[in-house]
């Protein structure tokens, strides 16, 4: 946890410590050693290095294709927001003002009004939508933005919480509340699909409680993932903003019946935080494990070349060319290092498949494929595949690896999702970080505050109650089911 | 020209004025009416609307593929730069300090050191490269960043000059000066290729004079395009930074011979300004004209549906589906508007091909294709193509349109590139904005200053002298050939 006010140098990591022993140490060691990020010379900010950016590009591509398939277009709104605009939606500014960075000087000119660096863009989007929307014919507006945003946080950690971060923020405006609600569920489902089917991180979806809601929203829905230390991580949110922002920023339209109405708006976002979940959920003591769909490099060829084995090098290069021609994201590692060091290096970087290729393999007409998702010595972890079949087998293996990683993560989540009815046990689970503690809950902020004060746990999200029950935390009548957990 | 200190509302454009009469009025009208940008509620900033962002995405895709093909990877560096770091390279800070926006407050905390919003990222990149580079084995570093940057300008204009803008900035570090110089020419050539072969904007390449050089660079090379009003527009730059930044930020490495050496660094950038060139070079009194490779929509189908002509609508939809399946970026316009209005609308938006499809076309088994690059009534502008051949003919037509637009623009540039030997004529051409005035030049800043004072023209870029000559501007011995022009 980086808490100092001065920027630090990126620590030099020699060995990756045990994940089970100290998740936080392990996590930061992996982030730095795998060259995902470096600490920047600005307090609380990181540099996303090429390998980390490769992960982000994969996530971007998967999200962006789905946003477009659901009718959205990209746009770009300004970084700076005048203070007088930010303060128009009262709840919103109350929620964000304490963590806003302010520009007060431009060149040699002292500004007459402070400009906020966007912590999120509902405000500036609201002002523009008011200009663009006149008639019901102008609706819906379905826009997404890929952007950097800034929140002046005290304690930071790569990917999970930094002053500046990269994300996407969708902003839509609709003629009716129903359409807005549909949009919000549609995008929550897009996020769930990407989290589970692409990043292989299983999530629990539901509605945020009033106290955990986005500042200014009528309803906030979230994806919650469970980290190995029993803490929850909010992986994405989707907000029904009701008419709060359209009233504050004057997004009005002439309806078909000629009445003037306020639009119903939504917003939804996923950030590079999702990469933090990927690292923590899948990594092990050897380093990163990247699900194939997220891997900048799906497979790496390590030729085991001894003096005079030019044939091996040539055959390995041919294999590399063939696999690339087959559309696979493959690298060949011809560095002047010992094979064992290369194996460890690519394991640490989490590449899903390693292709070992030496004189024996060449003789036998095979390549040796090693799966990163399996333990050393585990059945099916090491396969000798005839050279002619490698290009066809890899995609199949990648599918298996993807599925296996999701299954492993799902097993952990299920084993640590605890449906509890006993009050004492509930508080103990919360305190001990036993996972997602699922209870019938009254829904009252006062009750949530007591749980938080006693255990540090909060509601992650809620869903409808199946049958009448009493609140496991306080004994009042329950109104929802809720997952409680300590969180990142 | 937006000069006020308060933000303005986006003007409502009813009709596009004559391009020849007032390029500036025409330009802004097209930007707003085609919904490329809106003025933002922050002084000097714009919103890039979905159609404008579609252009930017095309440019990004074309550049990004070429950056990767030349061995570069993307990364992301922080937005904020501490003042103490910015000031380490003396020329650099002198060049940029007057136009930096400063963050002085974070949340409720007044910062002990001001933080600059990046006007460009050499500084923060330099600090990180110093951390990453130890040995010659760590070189070269070939990184590109897609980012927003900010320069506190007084006078702004959509795309051409705004306080915040989107760009890419490449930053590389090399072991030798030769490698760095090769990188700088390689990327200048990438830019030239994208400008000419993708954006269809012909450019003149060469080296900037000392006074026009990037602050802190040893050599700056540029692409210069010519706008219809005879002003030059700098479309991209590529800089040899020498060892200036590696000395200021301590980017050192152990060379193969064990000596400690400073790295040779480069940077190169193209921004959304290129879209401003696209608009001005290609547009006409009907609005935008977008070269096919840059067009978010390559062709639009306008069904001409009269009451009871369900067959036309169905056949148009089938054509749409077929063309999309063929991989074309095609839209169908089924809005409740008169066909003539739709024609004008898509012409204004610059879509390269319009596909008119009515009852007569259906009967004849054809579709009518209308080329946006041709004048109304011009030969070959309107073609009846058998329905079965449309999907195959469109790619051919798009290639022709792309080539024709480049040829038209090249003709203009050639007609307005004036090789001058007479001093009086030279000054007159410069004053009258006759185009790119090509002279033998002494290379002296004093001479450049006199030309600028008398005519507002500056050197755009220079190239080697073919034979001894005297400077056309001042009569001293010439050292280079130079293009002079007034510029954006």
DSSP B373-422: TSPTT-TTSEEEEEGGGHHHHHHHHHHHHHHHHHHHHHHHHHHTEEE---
Mean pLDDT of chain A: 96
Cβ contact A272:A306 at 8 Å: no
Return d(Cα B206, Cα A317) in angstroms, integer. Answer: 39
Name the CATH architecture for the domain at B417-485. 2-Layer Sandwich (3.30)
* The token pair that represents B217 in the structure block: 């660079």
Q: ipTM, 2 decimals?
A: 0.96
Domain boundaries for CATH 3.30.110.30 within chain A:
417-485
pLDDT tens-digit series, residues A170-194: 999 999 999 999 999 999 999 999 9
Q: Half-sphere exposure of A262 toward its Cβ, with a 13 Å CA cutoff?
A: 13
**B107/A contact by beta carbon, under 8 A:** yes
Q: Is B143 on the interface with A (CB under 8 A)?
A: yes
Q: Which of residues 153-212 of B touch A (CB under 8 A)?
A: 163-164, 166
User: How far apart are the C-alpha atoms of A153 and A160, rounded to whole Å?
Assistant: 11
Q: Does A100 lie at the interface with B, CB-CB under 8 angstroms?
A: yes
- pLDDT for B166 equals 98
Interchain contact B256–A (C-beta under 8 A)? no
CA distance linking residue B103 with residue B152, whole number of Å: 13
Report CB contact under 8 Å: B79, A104.
no
Is CATH 3.30.930.10 correct for B23-282?
Answer: yes
CATH topology classification for B292-413: Rossmann fold (3.40.50)
Strands (E), B46-187: 46-48, 73-74, 80-82, 101-106, 109-117, 141-150, 164-174
The 10s digit of each residue's pLDDT in A320-356 is 999 999 999 999 999 999 999 999 999 999 999 999 9
List chain A residues with CB under 8 Å of B349.
none
Distance CA B302, CA B355 (A): 6
- Distances, alpha carbon B149 to alpha carbons A169, B52, B117, B332, in Å: 19, 18, 7, 37
User: Which of B106, B45, B150, B10 lies closest to A114, judged by CA?
Assistant: B106
Instruction: Give A272-281 pLDDT, tens digit per residue.
Output: 999 999 999 9
> Which pLDDT belongs to residue B1?
38
Interface contact B38-A82, CB threshold 8 A: no
Please name the member of A81, A117, A147 whose beta carbon is closest to the beta carbon of B103.
A117
pLDDT given for residue A8 in this prediction: 81
Q: CB contact, 8 Å: B127 with chain A?
A: yes
Q: What is the pLDDT of residue B5?
A: 57
* CA distance to partner chain B, nearest, from residue A327 (Å): 15
Q: Decide if A451 contacts A423 (C-beta within 8 A).
A: no
Rg (CA), chain B: 25
Q: What is the DSSP letter of A266?
A: E
What is the average per-residue pLDDT within A238-255? Answer: 97
Every domain of chain A with CATH number 3.40.50.800 lies at 297-397
In CATH terms, the fold of domain A297-397 is Rossmann fold (3.40.50)
Determine the number of helices (DSSP H) and then strands (DSSP E) in chain B: 14, 23
Which of B419, B414, B422 lies closest to B484 in space, CA to CA? B419
C-alpha–C-alpha distance, residues A35 and B442, integer Å: 49
**A32-51 residues touching B, CB cutoff 8 A:** 38, 40-42, 45-50
List of E strands, B9-155: 37-39, 46-48, 73-74, 80-82, 101-106, 109-117, 141-150
Instruction: Give the span between the Cα atoms of A303 and A187, in whole angstroms.
Output: 44
pLDDT at B381: 96
DSSP track, B243-274: THHHHHHT-EEE-TTS-EEE-EEEEEEEETHH
Encoded tokens for B285: 């009194």
Contact B38 A98 (CB under 8 A): no
A94-110, pLDDT tens digit by residue?
A: 888 889 999 999 998 89
Average pLDDT along chain B, 488 residues, taken 10 residues at a time: 63 94 97 97 96 98 98 98 91 87 94 96 97 97 98 93 97 98 98 98 98 94 98 98 96 97 98 98 98 98 86 95 97 95 97 96 96 95 96 98 98 98 98 98 97 98 97 98 98
Query: CA-nearest residue of chain A to B164?
Result: A78
**Residues A201-233 pLDDT 10s:** 999 999 999 999 999 999 999 999 999 999 999
Task: Please answer yes or no on whether A152 and B74 come within 8 Å at the CB atom.
Answer: no
Tokens at B203, concatenated: 């450019």
Three-state SS at B202: coil
Residue B221, strand partner residues: B207, B238
Q: Do B57 and A74 touch (CB under 8 A)?
A: yes
What distance in Å separates the CA atoms of residue B262 and residue B244, rounded to the nearest whole number? 9
A123 interfaces chain B, CB cutoff of 8 Å: no
Q: How far apart are CA B460 and CA B208, in angstroms?
A: 7
Pairing type for strands A46-48 and B46-48 reads unpaired
The set of residues, in sequence order, having a beta carbon less than 8 Å from that of A147 and lying 6+ positions away, is: A76, A77, A79, A118, A121, A166, A167, A168, A169, B148
Numbered ranges of CATH 3.30.930.10 in chain A: 23-282
Asked if residue B158 has a cis previous peptide bond (ω within 30° of 0), the answer is: no
Using CB atoms, pick whichever of A103, A109, A131 lies closest to residue B38: A131
**Per-window interface: B 266-285 vs A, CB < 8 A:** none
pLDDT band at A3 (very low <50, low <70, confident <90, very high): very low
Report whether the peptide linkage leading into residue B140 is cis, meaning its omega lies within 30 degrees of zero. Answer: yes
Q: What is the pLDDT of residues A349-358, one digit of tens each?
A: 999 999 999 9
* In contact, A73 and B64? CB cutoff 8 Å: no
Which two three-digit tokens encode residue A47? 């540099």
């Amino acid at each position: 946890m980086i808490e100092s006010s001065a920027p630090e140098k990126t620590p030099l990591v020699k060995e990756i410590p045990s994940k089970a022993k100290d998740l936080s140490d392990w996590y930061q060691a992996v982030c730095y050693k795998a060259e995902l990020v470096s600490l920047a010379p600005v307090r609380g900010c990181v540099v996303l290095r090429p390998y980390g950016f490769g992960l982000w590009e994969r996530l971007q591509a998967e999200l962006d294709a789905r946003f477009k398939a659901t009718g959205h277009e990209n746009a770009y709104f300004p970084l700076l927001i005048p203070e007088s605009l930010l303060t128009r939606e009262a709840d919103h500014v109350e929620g964000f003002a304490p963590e806003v960075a302010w520009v007060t000087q431009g060149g040699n000119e002292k500004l007459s009004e402070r400009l906020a660096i966007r912590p999120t863009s509902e405000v500036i989007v609201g002002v523009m939508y008011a200009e663009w929307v006149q008639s019901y014919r102008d609706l819906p507006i379905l826009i997404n933005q890929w952007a950097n945003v800034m929140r002046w946080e005290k304690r930071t950690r790569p990917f999970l919480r930094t002053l500046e971060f990269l994300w996407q923020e969708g902003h839509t405006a609709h003629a009716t509340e129903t359409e807005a609600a549909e949009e919000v569920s549609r995008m929550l489902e897009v996020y769930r699909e990407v989290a589970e089917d692409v990043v292989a991180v299983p999530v629990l979806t539901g509605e945020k409680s009033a106290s955990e809601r986005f500042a200014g929203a009528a309803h906030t829905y979230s994806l919650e993932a469970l980290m190995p230390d029993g803490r929850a991580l909010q992986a994405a949110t989707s907000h029904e903003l009701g008419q709060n922002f359209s009233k504050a920023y004057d997004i009005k339209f002439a309806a078909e019946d000629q009445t003037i109405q306020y639009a119903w708006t939504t917003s939804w976002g996923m950030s590079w935080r999702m990469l933090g979940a990927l690292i923590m959920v899948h990594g092990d003591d050897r380093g990163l494990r990247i699900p194939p769909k997220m891997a900048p490099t799906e497979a790496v060829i390590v030729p085991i070349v001894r003096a005079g084995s030019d044939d091996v090098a040539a055959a390995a290069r041919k294999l590399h060319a063939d696999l690339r021609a087959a559309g696979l994201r493959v690298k060949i590692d011809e560095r002047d290092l010992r094979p064992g060091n290369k194996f460890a290096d690519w394991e640490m970087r989490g590449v899903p498949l390693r292709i070992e290729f030496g004189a024996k393999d060449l003789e036998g007409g095979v390549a040796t494929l090693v799966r990163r998702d399996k333990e050393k010595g585990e059945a099916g972890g090491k396969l000798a595949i005839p050279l002619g079949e490698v290009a066809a087998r890899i995609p199949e293996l990648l599918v298996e690896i993807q599925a296996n990683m999701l299954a492993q993560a799902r097993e952990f989540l299920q084993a640590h999702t605890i449906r509890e009815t006993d009050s004492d046990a509930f508080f103990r689970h919360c305190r001990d970080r036993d996972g997602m503690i699922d209870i019938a809950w009254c829904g009252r902020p006062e009750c949530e505050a007591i749980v938080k004060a006693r255990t540090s746990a909060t509601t992650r999200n809620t869903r409808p109650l199946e049958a009448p029950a009493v609140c496991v935390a306080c004994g009042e009548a329950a109104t929802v089911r809720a997952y409680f957990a300590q969180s990142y």
